[in-house]
Structure 1
């Protein structure tokens, strides 16, 4: 088991050596915990145990006594949910008549997905948006506002129509923190929010795979509970919670996927009550169960559950913190491509943002309850195999050789190839992830599809929605990363040579990285 996770021979792993000195890291530690739980039927084994017991001997001792104090004293995420339910409100204030122009409260607005939700809300002002209020962490309101606009500039988002001051203001930035009581807002602002807002979009979370549930509970679960408190004070408001497809990351759901059985959107997540080993995913499970509980009591709330979120299909903008694009950068620098058997399931960020907004509107107007829709799985219209992805990269002129996974990992570990710092930071992740061939969950996404036909008014008029990343969209994303200097240009494409099996990367527009108010420049890639 350890040899697979570390990509080492069993006899090369000393039983008294610190596993982190042998290449274990937060990502592979999470995979190790998952396999230990499945193998030894351990219901409570938080990742913190690996950090506290980082040798084979220490882990064996913990496993032998897993019913004892070491694991039972740690906070169980499912038990925590049961305790939380006892303190949740059971009655709500009346709903006020929904205004034609609504005020949205958005968390996580400086993140990749949050910025595109904000972009689309501001585009939608002519329909039903009066104002968007964003909760942002920072040292002051000014610093938070600067952070929000700078983050938008990173992805070429036009902020010229965002007005934060005066009577025409359509955007308000609040200094706050998800993990604090009342989000850290003072009493006067909190009371104003409970009266002013109509719809709450809970997109923010602390994402850290190394933290256990207890360490990540305050911002993630506590933030969800504070959102519910805001939405059930003074008048009842709609709440949409943005989660993750990772809540299906248990042996039971993996077995379903392996058997070709789809996971329906009305699944109650009871098969993930145990088996989730990453604190972040445990916090998402608890928050989802809380939202389901509140929906059953009659609160207007729902859940958006995306799979892997990638680039914007219209501009090619992607987050260069996305591990998959860092993987791709590593492939390009090594000239090698691993022969994996799993499928790639990713959705565009603009499609995800549209589903989030449509779900919020559905909760506010009551249509989600009418159609028994509480969960919206955001899944691609089609998946892509790793081999097909290689063909796309070759199509755009990247000279990559398909090799077995073990060959790829050996080259990655050697010092023969000079790798950039962006790749070196993720090198350990390759070893754990390249050997993982678990199929992605087969999830039903009909609720989300049906939702957009009712609540996405500009689908044909302003920006056509594209769910999956096809050849053209991947090319646009790579062109964006080449333009900002994150990826090298194609190495073998020659514009003077006619080759139907090769083509140039698409032309794109990229906003300057130092501010979004400067006119955009066109970047033509040769």
Structure 2
């Protein structure tokens, strides 16, 4: 079986170079956004519509533009951010990141190449356990096709959404890809490759910026959040089982969590994308506020009155109950290895140097809210309203702590 080499993939097609000069400075009138049906992508779309007068062309995997429009509305309504008043500036484009020419007809490709002034590339295929080979078409080849489109007719500023889990500087051509075998390793490796393609496009004259957000949480006011994040499945498991694992406090070297509300991340990316990239296009988006995992568990325990058991006992109970509660714990059950790393504080991403981000956002009023009990309360309220968490105190069929 052939295993693709990320280092070989991380070489941009030499024929991809910007045509003519880059788009003129100033607000973009037409922006191409990928990934708009995803979590961060939907909020990027909302931010682009709110902060600028641009039309936003949204590349969506769909059978038709009509189907693409339906998917966009569904995603934005799911996250409580659909607004009929700005719907006329959303232009759906049916396409496919895994296909040559993004799955576009020659006429549609030419139209985008001519009209688009800037590109926000947030689209990616995500798979926690998927190997690099399974994600390569969308996350590597798709990025190369986006770069090709950004270079055609004239250079269009390209903003690429990566992840803080990617190690090193994409300008380092000698660096080795991330080691395989880690949870999410295939996704991180794909982003590592894609970053290098984007950076090479920058070296050839395309204005580029690479954003590396850390863990992204729900909206800081509404709590609207994706329901497929390991940390929230961890919270759900505690609430449903009525059991919480005992973890060390921070002064004892216990693990901590950190995440940035999606509205902050989207607003910061849209603002920074409109600025001159300068010689260092890499920007981290992280929350300097960290919460001990024991405190997060404590906030959940107050709401659900759970009992505490040892870490190993909790993991065992989770695995045993993974098929109960109408399958609600199945996702949590298959992430047991992730939880073991979370509970022991291992597997943390590299430290993020966000000094350039702090400088870019100085004086803008764009700040990351602190990670505190009030914010966690907003999220728990949302998860209850969405049916992801039970509404206390109707909490039946709880695992009995007496058997721990």
State whether TM-score is above 0.5. Answer: yes
What is the match of residue 329 of structure 2?
A: 423
What is the match of residue 80 of structure 2?
A: 156
Residues 220 and 439 of structure 1: is their aligned pair in 2 closer, same or farther, counting only changes over 3 Å?
Answer: closer
Matched, 1:199 2:115: no
Cα drift, residue 162 of structure 1: 2.4
Distance, in Å, in 2 between the alignment partners of 1:416 and 1:281 is 27
Structure having the higher Rg: 1
Contact residue 162 and residue 191 of structure 2 kept, 8 A: yes
Residues 92 and 238 of structure 1: is their aligned pair in 2 closer, same or farther, counting only changes over 3 Å?
Answer: same
Please point out which of 151, 172, 177 is paired with 1:273: 177
What is the match of residue 504 of structure 1?
A: none
Please point out which of 210, 221, 241 is paired with 1:303: 210
Superposed CA deviations along residues 256-285 of structure 1, whole A, max 9, x for unmatched, are: xxxxxxx7x788485542524432221111
Query: 1:373-388 residue pairs with structure 2 within 5 A?
Result: 373-388=280-295
RMSD (CA atoms): 2.6
Distance, in Å, in 1 between the alignment partners of 2:382 and 2:178 is 41
Residues 448 and 178 of structure 1: is their aligned pair in 2 closer, same or farther, counting only changes over 3 Å?
Answer: same
Distance, in Å, in 2 between the alignment partners of 1:297 and 1:416 is 51
* 3-state SS of paired residue (1:109): coil
Superposed CA deviations along residues 377-398 of structure 1, whole A, max 9, x for unmatched, are: 1111211111111222244x32
Query: 1:175-214 residue pairs with structure 2 within 5 A?
Result: 175-214=94-133
Contact residue 217 and residue 260 of structure 2 kept, 8 A: yes
Distance, in Å, in 2 between the alignment partners of 1:96 and 1:347 is 32
What is the match of residue 237 of structure 1?
A: 156
What is the match of residue 12 of structure 2?
A: 85
Please point out which of 69, 82, 92 is paired with 1:145: 69
* 3-state SS of paired residue (1:201): strand
Contact residue 339 and residue 402 of structure 1 kept, 8 A: yes
Query: 1:327-406 residue pairs with structure 2 within 5 A?
Result: 327-340=234-247, 341-362=254-275, 367-369=276-278, 372-395=279-302, 397-406=303-312
Superposed CA deviations along residues 89-134 of structure 1, whole A, max 9, x for unmatched, are: 3564212423545211000000111111111111113xxx321110
Contact residue 28 and residue 117 of structure 2 kept, 8 A: no
Contact residue 175 and residue 185 of structure 1 kept, 8 A: yes
Residues 270 and 352 of structure 1: is their aligned pair in 2 closer, same or farther, counting only changes over 3 Å?
Answer: farther
Please point out which of 223, 226, 233 is paired with 1:326: 233
Matched, 1:133 2:42: no
What is the match of residue 351 of structure 2?
A: 442
Q: Any gaps of 5 or more consecutive residues in structure 2?
A: 248-253, 395-404
Distance, in Å, in 1 between the alignment partners of 2:65 and 2:347 is 44
Cα drift, residue 152 of structure 1: 0.9
Contact residue 235 and residue 297 of structure 2 kept, 8 A: no
What is the match of residue 41 of structure 1?
A: none
Cα drift, residue 419 of structure 1: 3.5
Distance, in Å, in 2 between the alignment partners of 1:434 and 1:491 is 29
| TM-score where L is the length of structure 1 | 0.68
Contact residue 322 and residue 332 of structure 2 kept, 8 A: no
What is the match of residue 401 of structure 2?
A: none
Using the TM superposition, name which of 410-419 and 438-447 deviates more: 410-419
Please point out which of 289, 302, 320 is paired with 1:414: 320
| TM-score where L is the length of structure 2 | 0.87
Contact residue 171 and residue 199 of structure 2 kept, 8 A: no
Q: Any gaps of 5 or more consecutive residues in structure 1?
A: 1-69, 165-169, 249-262, 493-526
Contact residue 18 and residue 150 of structure 2 kept, 8 A: no
What is the match of residue 452 of structure 1?
A: 361
Contact residue 346 and residue 468 of structure 1 kept, 8 A: no
What is the match of residue 250 of structure 2?
A: none
Query: 1:244-255 residue pairs with structure 2 within 5 A?
Result: 244-248=163-167
Please point out which of 108, 121, 138 is paired with 1:219: 138
